[in-house]
Chains A and B, each alone.
Chain A
Amino acid sequence: MVIAMGFEGSANKLGIGIIKDGEVLSNPRRTFITPPGTGFLPAETAQHHQSKILDLTEEALKTAGITPSDVDVLCYTKGPGMAPPLMSVAVVARTLAQLWKKPIIGVNHCIGHIEMGRAVTGAKNPTVLYVSGGNTQVIAYSQQRYRIFGETIDIAVGNCLDRFARVLRLSNDPSPGFNIEQLAKQGVKYLAIPYTVKGMDVSFSGILSYIEEKADGLISSGQYTPADLCFSLQETIFAMLVEITERAMAHCGSNEVLLVGGVGCNIRLQEMMGQMAKERGALLHATDDRYCIDNGAMIAQAGLCEFNSGVTTKLDDTFITQRFRTDEVHVGWRS
C-alpha cells in the first residue's frame, strides 16, 4: 500500500502525480505555452513552474483524497532536462521531504516514461521508442539496464517539429506538434525531404535546416501549402523512426514495441509503427496524452519501482543534472 508522489518539470510541462498500488489517484498538469513563432526559454519556464507548483501540489493531494502524512515517498525528476525548471521542482520536493519527513528519490525522466508505459500498457519486455521534444532514443532492456540501441545524433524529433511549427507560426496551444499533426491531415502534395538514418541512429538538424530554408519560398510561390509541408515532414521523419525501431527489434528478436514520450501521442506515428509491427507479427503498445506527455505520475511510478527495490536518494545527493543517460540507472527492480 505504498503511496508515491511524483514531481515533474524538466521542460515546459509541470506535473504532479500520486500513485497508490499501481493506481493513479491524481495527475494534474500545467503547460507553459509561448506565443506562435516562439519557443520556451529556461528562465521563463522556471518562473512559470515556480508560480504554479504550490497550487498544483495542493490540487494533486486534494484530487487524490490524501494528506501529506499518507505519502510514503517523494519522487522528483533529477534529469535530464533544462536546469532552471528542474531546479524549481527539485527545491520544492526537497523542502517537502524535510517538512513531511519523507524519503526522497531522484528519478531519470526517460525511465519515468518507460516505466509508466509498461505499467499502463502491460507490455512485458518491449523495444521502446522514446520520442519527445527533448529526447529521441530506441531503448531495450538487458541485464538491469535500459540500453540505448539507437538515438538522434543531434536534435530530438520533437524539437525538429516544434521549431518547424515556429517557421509556420502555428499556435503552441496545446502543443506545436499537435497542431502540425492536425495540419498534416490536410496535406496532399509530397515534398521529397532528406532522409537521414545513420545505421542505428538518426539525424534531424539537417532536415530542419533544409525545410526552414525552403518553406517560405515554396509557400509564397504557391507550389506547396503549409499542410503539404507538415505532411511531408511527418512522413519522412516518422519513417526514419520506424526504420531504426525495426532494426533494434530485429537485433533483439523482439515482438513488442512501446511508444512513449510526447511525440508518441501522434496518431500518424502510431499508425506507421503499428503497420511495421504487424508485418513482423509484433504488437504495438501506446498510451494516450495523459501519460505520453510529461506528467508527474510517471515520475512517481519509476520512483516507486526504485523505492520497492530498496533505493532512496540522500538529501545531499538530490541535485539536478541536465544530462542523465538512460543507461546510467541500475534497473534493480527487473531481473
Chain B
Amino acid sequence: MSCASAFDATLTIEIPFPSSEIAEIVFRTLSVDREPPRGNVRKELALSGNTLTAVLIARDPKNLRTAANKFLDYVKLTVDTINRFG
C-alpha cells in the first residue's frame, strides 16, 4: 500500500468518526508531528470522509506496539478534547 519493503511489519488502524468534520480535526491535529527518529517507525495518516487511517511501518513488530499505543493515546486525547470543548 505505502512505502513498505517486503521485510517490514505494518499495522493499519482505521478509525471511523461520527462526522467528517471531527475526523478532519483529528487528522489535522495528529498529522503535524513526525515519528521520533530513534523509534524506528514510520507513520502515514490518511483521511477519507469520516474515516481516519493510520499505517505504521517498522522492521521490528515490537516497535509497532509502542507506536500504536502512543498513537491511540493521542487519538483518545484529541477525541476527549472534542467531546469536552467542542
Contacts and interface: CB of A to CB of B under 8 A. Distances in A.
Contacts of A54: 80-81, 84-85
A143 to B, nearest CB: 31
A96 B81 contact: yes
Interface stretch (A84-92, A197-205, A290-298): A84-92
Contacts of B73: 46-47, 50
Contact of B74 (A57, A87, A96): A87
A42 to B, nearest CB: 10
B80 A319 contact: no
Contacts of B77: 50, 53, 88, 91-92
The 10 closest A-B pairs by CB, nearest first: A95-B81, A94-B29, A98-B25, A99-B86, A319-B32, A95-B29, A95-B78, A54-B84, A319-B33, A50-B77
A100 B36 CA distance: 29
A53 B73 CA distance: 14
A244 interface: no
B82 interface: yes
Nearest to A88: B77
B15 interface: no
A279 interface: no
A41 interface: no
Interface string B23-67: 001001111111010000000000000000000000000000000
Contacts of A68: 85
A56 to B, nearest CB: 12
A318 interface: yes
Contacts of B33: 87, 90, 319-320
Nearest to A61: B85
B84 to A, nearest CB: 5
A154 B73 CA distance: 33
Contacts of B84: 54, 57-58
